[in-house]
Every structure is written in C-alpha cells, then in structure tokens.
Structure 1
Amino acid sequence: MTQQQQHHEEASAKGGSSSDIIERVKKDHEELDDYYKHYKKSLKDGDGEAALKWFNQFVWEICRHSVSEELVLYPMMETMGDRGKKLADKSREDHHKVKEMLAEMESMSDAKEMEPKMDKLMEELREHIKLEESEDLALVEKEVGLGARETAGATFALGKSIAPTRPHTMVPEKPVVVEAALGLLATPMDKLRDMFTSFPKA
C-alpha cells in the first residue's frame, strides 16, 4: 500500500468532515473523477508510466467503493419498498458492467492504448454516479435519519478497508452473504498484487 492509499484509508476511518454514508459515497465519487483526470493529464503530458499508476489507483478505489456499497448501501435501500429494491438492482447492474470493463483493461499495459476504453468506462460511471446521487442517495436521505446514516457510514468505511481491490466479475453483487464470503477470500490475493503494482506517490 502506498502512502497515498494509507492516508486515504486513515482519513476514511476517521470520517473526515462527516461519517454520514451519503457524504462518504459522494466523496468517493469525487476522488474517482479526480484520479481519472490525473490519468488523462498524464497521457496529455506524454507520461504513460504515470498514467498507468493513476489507472491502478482508480481501480484500487473503485473496487473497494463498489463492494462496500453492495454490502451496506444497497441492502439498506432494499428495506425502502419497491422503489428502493429497483434502484438497488439497477446500481448492482451498473457495477457489474464496470467490473467487466475494468477486468478487460487490467490485461493491457499501454496506457495510451487503453484510453478509449477508459473514456468509455468513465462515461458509464458518470451516468451511474448521476443516477446514484439523484435517486439512490436522495431516497436514503429521505428515509433514514442522520444517526442511522452515520452508523451505516462507519460500516461502509470498514467495508472498504477489507474489500477486494481488484475487479472480480465471478463474485455476485447479490446476495450479500455470498458476496461477502467470496469477496473476502479474494482480498488477501489482491493485497499481495498491490505490493507489486505501481501507484502514484503521495
């Protein structure tokens, strides 16, 4: 784990300005967009090695974020009637699509060559984020009190600290028990791979 990633996890554990799960999810969304912009800037500057490092950082974060949403946010939404269930299922479908795209890109070693796929992935992800923030999180804010959201936020942060850091398309997004069991089995191998993967320095 790099210093940047360690700082990221420590800040997440402490909760930053808010432990509300809504704020935690939105903060992750902002960071993912920032990593993508760093990737694009590195390519523009002709630094393919730096671009790959930012891609690795992007993958590390989005996988942890996605699994924690599937373990905490979406099951919570499913308690909110048919609308919550439909929104949760749609978000799970979006996650699986992104995982498949990431898994395909992980076999590529040329940052410039993967750029069209990365751009397409980000296009899909931004649509998902737009829906999630305007529908999923709005529903949670309406239906769940701040105290419960902060408890969920703490669980969300814990989930990220133990979640796999690579896309595992064979691990189902549902049911939660199956995902948790298979996902945690994958985590030690992901952590080992992280030790031999280049990331941007803090």
Structure 2
Amino acid sequence: MGHGGNVIEELTVDHREVDALFARIEILPVGDSRRREVADELTMELVRHSVAEEMHLYPAVREHVEDGDSIADKELADHAAVEELLKELEGRPADDGRFDDLVARLRLAVGEHVRDEEGRLFPLLAAACTNEVLDVLGDRVRAAKKTAPTRPHPSAPDTPPAGRILAPGLGLVDRARDLLSGRGGH
C-alpha cells in the first residue's frame, strides 16, 4: 500500500505502517539495540500521524459528524495517553527493564485507538463528507506530516489554532535534532 488518496485511505496506510513497526520490534531479541532504533522510527511515525490528525481530521470530525465534539475529544485523549508513553519511552535503551513494558503498553493503546478510528470514526466521517472533502483532507494530512514534529511533546497544544501554529516550528527543531543525532536515519 502506498500513500495518497483520501484522508481515510491515507490514515489507514499509516496504521498498517505502525503495525509493521511494532512487528519489527517484536521479532528482534529482547535487549537488542536495534529495538531502540525501530522504536525511534515508530515514535516519529506516531507523532507525525497524531499531529496531522489533530490539525485536520479532528476539526473535520467536529464540523461534519454528529456528536463530533465528543468523538474528537475522546480521540485527543487517546493521543495524549500515547504521547505520554512515547515520552517515557524516548531515549530509554532497549536493555532497560521498562523498555519492553512500555512498548507493550504502547501497542495496546495504539491498537485500541486504531480500532476505534477504523471501526467508528472513519465510517461516520465517510458518511458525513463528500469524496471531495475527504480528498482535500487527505492532501492536508499528507502536507502536515511533512512539517510535523518527530518527537513527543505532551505539553504542546493539540487543538487548533495553537497546534497548527506551533507544530511546524516544533517539527523543524525536532528534525534538526534528528539530523544531528542520526535518529531515524536507519
């Protein structure tokens, strides 16, 4: 599967990529330093994905879906919990006693969130929006992921307009840190 298409197709591809990253971590031996490298890739993907959803998907859910405010609020709460786990995992070596527990908790939280989005939110959004709106949202999500942060920032705002204003700046700083450290270059 490649990226492109409407917002639902784009985010579903992201979900499958995240599943594949979790699988890559799990097949490596416990304590193997490559698990840390894959965890960094996973973190980068999850953060970019979450920021793009917060900037474009959830505002659209609020606008177009009946009871969209409560649905979006629940999804944002899921993101906050995942981001806290990512922050706790950040920089922790693969042979640290908490590493595997955090990865397992992260996989559970992300899995529940994905099931909810794909099973409930995406069908509601598809029913409420035209294909044109979904296509435009897909383009916006792809663009947002290019400038989004790559590291967890649990205290950063997750709703527009503050999130839209701060995300590109945080993304620039994160990508500079990644370049200098070699993080994500594997």
TM-score (norm 1): 0.85
Maintained 8 Å contact 2:33/2:93: no
Q: 1:78 aligns with which of 41, 46, 62?
A: 62
The code of the aligned residue for 1:143 comes to: A
Q: Runs (4+) of structure 1 moved beyond 6 Å?
A: none
Maintained 8 Å contact 1:64/1:163: yes
The alpha carbon displacement at 1:111 in A equals 4.7
- 2:18 and 2:65 map into 1 onto residues whose CA distance is 30
- 1:61 and 1:159 map into 2 onto residues whose CA distance is 12
Change (3 A) 1:200 1:115: farther
Percent of paired sites with the same residue:
26
Match of 1:134 in 2: 119
Match of 1:32 in 2: 18
- 1:81 and 1:155 map into 2 onto residues whose CA distance is 19
Match of 1:151 in 2: 136
- 1:161 and 1:81 map into 2 onto residues whose CA distance is 27
1:141 match: secondary structure:
helix
Q: Following superposition of structure 1 onto structure 2, how do residues 22-61 of structure 1 map, counting pairs within 5 Å?
A: 22-43=8-29, 48-61=32-45
Maintained 8 Å contact 1:84/1:136: no
- 2:52 and 2:148 map into 1 onto residues whose CA distance is 7
Q: Please list every run of 5 or more consecutive structure 2 residues that lacks an aligned counterpart in the other structure.
A: none
Q: After superposition, give the CA deviation of every residue in 1:130-154 in whole Å (9 maximum; x if it has no partner).
A: 1111111111110111121111101
Change (3 A) 1:38 1:111: farther
Q: After superposition, give the CA deviation of every residue in 1:171-198 in whole Å (9 maximum; x if it has no partner).
A: 1212x11011222221121001211134
Kindly report the root-mean-square deviation, in angstroms, between the aligned alpha carbons of the 2 structures.
1.6
The code of the aligned residue for 2:83 comes to: K
1:181 aligns with 2:154: no
Maintained 8 Å contact 1:43/1:111: no
- 2:29 and 2:101 map into 1 onto residues whose CA distance is 12
- 1:50 and 1:73 map into 2 onto residues whose CA distance is 33
Maintained 8 Å contact 1:105/1:117: yes
Change (3 A) 1:111 1:34: farther
Maintained 8 Å contact 2:14/2:49: yes
Maintained 8 Å contact 2:64/2:129: no
Q: 2:82 aligns with which of 98, 105, 111?
A: 98
The alpha carbon displacement at 1:110 in A equals 2.7
Q: Following superposition of structure 1 onto structure 2, how do residues 162-201 of structure 1 map, counting pairs within 5 Å?
A: 162-174=147-159, 176-195=160-179, 196-199=181-184, 201=186
Q: Please list every run of 5 or more consecutive structure 1 residues that lacks an aligned counterpart in the other structure.
A: 1-10
Match of 2:51 in 1: 67
2:67 match: secondary structure:
helix
Maintained 8 Å contact 1:43/1:112: no
